[in-house]
A = this chain, B = another copy of it.
Amino acid sequence: MKTPQHPNSQFPELARLVTLIDGVYAVALTLLVLDLKLPQNTDLAAALRQMLPGFLVYLITFASIAGYWMIHHGTFRHIAHGDGRLVFLSLLNLLFVTLFPLSASIVGGHPLEPLATACLSANSLLYCTTSWATWSYAAANRHLLAQKADYRRLQQAERMMLLVAVGLALAIPLAFVNVYLTYAIWILYTPVVGLWLRARRRPSA
């Protein structure tokens, strides 16, 4: 994370940005659980059963945030310098990380309502779009990249974010056809895209 000072940049090093980002991801991952509260007006076994849909939403959201963090981690290390625009895009991206606990809470309370699932899909969609913008901006400004930056990795992260965004954009109207289609996209689509891109990358390496 230590980078040589870049004289023309206002944010010559990114260590603090990374600390803030990791802090927000850590808090968001941990706050998700605050939405899961045991119902009080019933016996424990029934209360636990009532919590199941919310718990499933919790698992989906945790997996999404954790997966997004993995992509961020694997990509951002190829960026060595910042400028105002990169920091702005990163903070805009963080906005949609902090919204996940709210979106998850809306879906957890109304797991079968298309409108509720649309909130979480839109949240993820906006996260992916701003991620894509961040990687595109960095890729187009090579003086921001690390000396040994793997340029293909940035392009791959861009492509990944676009593909996931397309899936999430489809999940919004599909929920009004059948809400389980949205769940299928959330649970299956993103890992499949990730694994497919990973498989494609290997031969060229």
**Contact surface of A with B, Cβ cutoff 8 Å:** 1, 5, 10-13, 15-20, 22-34, 36-38, 40, 44-45, 48, 59, 62, 66, 69-70, 73-74, 77, 84, 87-88, 91, 94-95, 97-99, 101-102, 105-106, 109-110, 113, 115-116, 119, 148, 198
Q: Min CB distance, A99 to chain B, in Å?
A: 6
Chain A to chain B contacts (Cβ below 8 Å), 28 pairs: A10-B74, A11-B74, A16-B18, A18-B19, A19-B19, A20-B22, A20-B25, A22-B23, A23-B26, A24-B30, A27-B30, A27-B31, A28-B30, A29-B94, A30-B98, A30-B101, A32-B98, A34-B101, A36-B102, A37-B105, A40-B109, A48-B106, A48-B115, A62-B95, A62-B98, A66-B94, A66-B95, A70-B91
8 nearest A-B pairs in the assembled complex, by CB-CB distance: A23-B26, A27-B30, A66-B91, A19-B22, A24-B26, A30-B98, A33-B102, A20-B22
- Copies of this chain held together in the complex: 4
Q: Min CB distance, A148 to chain B, in Å?
A: 8
Contact indicator B20/A69 (Cβ below 8 Å): yes
How far apart are the CA atoms of A121 and B10 in the complex, in Å? 28
Q: Which residues of B contact A116 (CB under 8 A)?
A: 44
Q: Which residues of B contact A11 (CB under 8 A)?
A: 73-74
How far apart are the CA atoms of A34 and B27 in the complex, in Å? 12
How far apart are the CA atoms of A77 and B15 in the complex, in Å? 11
Checking B62, B91, B98, B113 against A44 with a beta-carbon cut-off of 8 angstroms, the contacting residue is: B113
Q: Min CB distance, A134 to chain B, in Å?
A: 15
How far apart are the CA atoms of A32 and B30 in the complex, in Å? 11
Q: Min CB distance, A146 to chain B, in Å?
A: 10
